[in-house]
Amino acid sequence: MNLKVTGLHLEVTPALREYVETKMERVTRHVDHVIDISVTLSVDKLVQKAEVNVHLSGKDIHVEATESDMYAAIDLLIDKLDRQVLKHKEKQSEHRAPAPEASL
């Protein structure tokens, strides 16, 4: 997995980077085939915005979240991303053929 954290009008501190990395572990637990994750944190006056692009095998997921606090924006972002990843994983498992029943 390749994780890239960038900041627009914001310096990404080591504490902020570590917080994002620990929260991303929650998402990567659900999906094995994460190729690349790009997180962008930005500040525009009083609005803190967090965006993420997750490149999975066969799907790209983009999620945005805005809050008045950056850590709250990251938490909201991770919640949204987690729901999207679980939805994608569920769709993948629905497309597989059902297991044949063993007859004795």
pLDDT 10s digit of each residue in the chain, 104 long? 789 999 999 999 999 999 999 999 888 888 878 889 999 999 998 899 999 999 988 889 999 999 999 999 999 999 999 999 989 888 877 766 666 676 65
* C-beta of residue 77 within 8 angstroms of C-beta of residue 25: no
SS3 101: coil
- Taken as a whole, the chain contains a residue count of 104
Q: What is the predicted pLDDT for the residue at 97?
A: 62
Q: What is the predicted pLDDT for the residue at 103?
A: 61
Q: pTM of the entire structure?
A: 0.84
